[in-house]
Each structure stands twice: as structure tokens, then as C-alpha cells.
Structure 1
């Protein structure tokens, strides 16, 4: 049973790491809005332009991302099925964080990208207030998703540590 459990955890860690990698690629834009005050119009335009490129991602890539995200979530649920105390604690927390990240992405990030970033205004002298809010909200949502997925990795590492330190063979 430990071999199958290790495979499932590997799938969860892979999917989570893959999604984190996707979110970390947005750091180039997110850092301009969240971590380098003040959020000037120039920085917000650069971020909005980046998000505009992301909003136009070909649908095939989106299907790949969705496949990985759903696969990771289903694998965590599969791990929960064993019903062991460690699984309930670590995988229960993992599924909560994973589902939270997916919910933020599906209900906040994707609609924001689709509504506000498919086309940008021509003028780059002053960023319109709605676009400014959307840009800041997008960066904040990326941060929330990144923190939640990092928590999933921490819980899976905790599960691995707990299982290996309770094993009499080690």
C-alpha cells in the first residue's frame, strides 16, 4: 500500500508544483504591482500588457492546465479515501487549500482576464481606474493561489515526514 500511496503523493506534488510554476511565471507582472510601491501608472500598464498576453493564451494550453489541475485534485481525494488519520489530516488540509486555490482561479482570475485584459485601451498615459483595480486584483489573486498551493506542498511534505518517521524500518 505504501508504494501506491507514494505514487499518489508524487502525482499531487507534480500537479501542485506545475501549477505553482505557472503562477510564478506571472511574478514579472505581479511584482510590479504588489511588491514595488508605489504602483505607478507605468508599472500598472506593463503588468496589464503582460496580463493581456496571458488572456490570449491558446485554448489547447488552457485544456492542459485544467487537466493537470483536475488530476491533482482528484488524486488528493483518492488519497483521502484510505481513511487513515494521517491522510485525513494532511490530505484534508491539502484538498481544502487546493480547492481554495482552484476556486480563486476559476471565480476571480479567469473572469478578470477574460473581461478586462483581452483588449486594452490605446492610450498609455494614464491607466483607467477600472483597469488599475483589475490589475491589482489579478496580482493579489495570483498571490492567494500561490500561497495556498505552497501550503499543499508543505502539508504533503509533512505527511511524508510523519509516515517515514513512524515507520519501524527507518
Structure 2
């Protein structure tokens, strides 16, 4: 049972570290878009970093289908690890693995709702344009559109769309780090419990040994008296 639990933990930690590695490779592009602005003396304007991120995302989105299939297989591998560990769970498994599964599913939702959708928008270049069948109002502020009936709505421009994607990557990284922290906490708790059980067994064995020695001494004393 312990070997099965260890293998299931490997199935969880492996995909989690795999995704963190991907996000780490994207972080240099996200950093200048989301976390810092170029200094006034920099030869590169803000739009330069947006273009770098946009080109990188287009390169990722145009990857062959094999890449996305491998990515989805790795996601499924992590879910398989959670299912294996939560089959007939103990109290510790239910606490740590249950919370880890919640975080993992939050990451899957962020991936589907924000990242996949954002990559499609970047590939199509449809950000910053009113939806089809609607026209941008002449008197409306930038980022709004008006329908034929005069109603107004909002749409997200190029810069905001790329910042949302960068923020989604950061959220996803924090969620995955949370999964690793919970798995490490579970490992520490199990090691601590095993050490306490071993100490209790040692004390019990010493107590039984001392009782047997006392019994042997009293038995020898009775034989000498006889």
C-alpha cells in the first residue's frame, strides 16, 4: 500500500513540476508586461515587450497537435495520481490530497477558461475589435462598442488581453506551488507519525523486556528458596 501511495505521489508531483517548468520559461515574457515598466532611458517602449509576448504566444499556439496532446496526457496523469491516492483514503490523505486536488482543478479551470481562450484570441488577432455584427460607437470611449439598437458593451484590447494571459500564468504558478507545498506537508506529517509510532513501539518493547527480566529474577529467587 505504501508503494502504491508513493507511486501516486510521483504521478502528482511529476506533472506539477512539468507545468511549473513551462511557466518558468514563459515568465521572462510575462515579467516585463505585468510586473515592470521599461525605464525612460530604455530604447524599448512598452509595445516592444507586448510584441515579444504576442509573438511567443503565437509560436506556442501554432505548435503541432502532438504538443497539446502530450500536455493533456500530462494533465490526465496528475488526475490519475489523485484518484489513486484518494481511493479508500485515510484521514491524512483526505485532508492533504483533497486540498491538493481542489488546487489542481482550479489550475485546470484557469488553463481552460483563460489561457486556452486567450491563445485563440492572440492567434486570431480579434482582441480590441467589436464582436461581429456590432459597430464601435463614434462617441463611445475606447474599449466600448454600440449595437444597432444603441446598447453599449465592453471588449478587451490587445494590451489588456496580454496582461490577463500573463496574470493567468502567475495564478497558475501559485496554484501549482500550493499543490507541491501540500504534498510536502503530507510527506512530513507521515514521516512524523511513523517516527512517533516507532518510538511508542520501542518504549512498549522496553517495558515488556523489563517485565520479563523481573519475572525471571523472581522465578530464580523462588527456586533458590526451594
TM-score normalised by the chain length of structure 2:
0.68
1:2 deviation in Å? 1.0
The residue aligned with 1:2 is 2
Question: Is the helix fraction higher in 1 or 2?
Answer: 1
1:56 aligns with 2:69: no
Q: Which runs of 4+ in 1 moved over 4 A?
A: 118-121
The correspondence of residues 104-115 of structure 1 with structure 2, limited to 5 A, is 104-115=110-121
The correspondence of residues 4-153 of structure 1 with structure 2, limited to 5 A, is 4-37=4-37, 40-118=46-124, 130-153=157-180
Q: State which drifts further: 110-119 or 64-73.
A: 110-119
1:159 aligns with 2:186: yes
Q: State which drifts further: 30-39 or 82-91.
A: 30-39
* Distance in 2 between residues matched to 1:65 and 1:162, nearest whole Å: 31
Residue by residue over 1:1-35, the C-alpha shift from the partner in whole angstroms, topping out at 9 and shown as x without a partner, is 11110111011100111111112111121111122
User: Which structure is richer in relative contact order (CA contacts within 8 A, separation 6 or more)?
Assistant: 1
Residue by residue over 1:75-112, the C-alpha shift from the partner in whole angstroms, topping out at 9 and shown as x without a partner, is 11221123211111100110000000011001110011
The residue aligned with 1:125 is none
Q: Is the 8 A contact 1:55 1:118 kept in 2?
A: no
Query: How many residue pairs end up in the alignment?
Result: 164
Q: Is the 8 A contact 2:54 2:122 kept in 1?
A: no
2:157 aligned counterpart, secondary structure: helix
* Distance in 2 between residues matched to 1:83 and 1:50, nearest whole Å: 42
Q: Name which one, 1 or 2, has greater alpha-carbon Rg.
A: 2
1:83 aligned counterpart, secondary structure: coil
* Distance in 2 between residues matched to 1:120 and 1:47, nearest whole Å: 16
1:58 deviation in Å? 1.2
